[in-house]
């Protein structure tokens, strides 16, 4: 099993619904927030134990990007 450090990771972006193909090379810090909600499904059959199941998932990405004016005027 290989291990990657955070500084070896890459952040890509692209059009919604398509595969991300453009790498953001001027990103400094990236935080990936993943959460799963839970619902109480306790019944009498639980013998006094609380029972929960996973419900909807939620995720967000936060990042810091260095501003580079030269990128604004790059030819497409």
How high is the pLDDT of residue 73?
65
- Please report which confidence band the pLDDT of residue 71 belongs to, taking 50, 70 and 90 as the band edges: low
Per-residue model confidence as pLDDT tens digits over 40-67:
999 999 999 999 999 999 999 898 888 7
Q: Three-class SS of residue 72?
A: helix
Contact 66, 29 (CB under 8 A): no
- What is the reported pLDDT for 60? 93
* Section 22-46 average pLDDT: 90
Helices (H) and strands (E) counted in the chain, each on its own, are 0, 4
Q: Which band of pLDDT confidence, cut at 50, 70 and 90, is reported for residue 76? A: low
List the chain domain ranges.
Answer: 6-67
């Amino acid at each position: 099993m290989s291990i990657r450090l955070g500084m070896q990771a890459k952040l890509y972006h692209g059009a919604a619904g398509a595969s991300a193909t453009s790498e953001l090379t001027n990103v400094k810090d990236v935080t990936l927030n993943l959460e799963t909600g839970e619902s109480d499904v306790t019944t009498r059959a639980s013998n006094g134990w609380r029972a929960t199941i996973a419900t909807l998932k939620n995720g967000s990405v936060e990042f810091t990007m260095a501003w580079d004016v030269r990128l604004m005027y790059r030819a497409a």
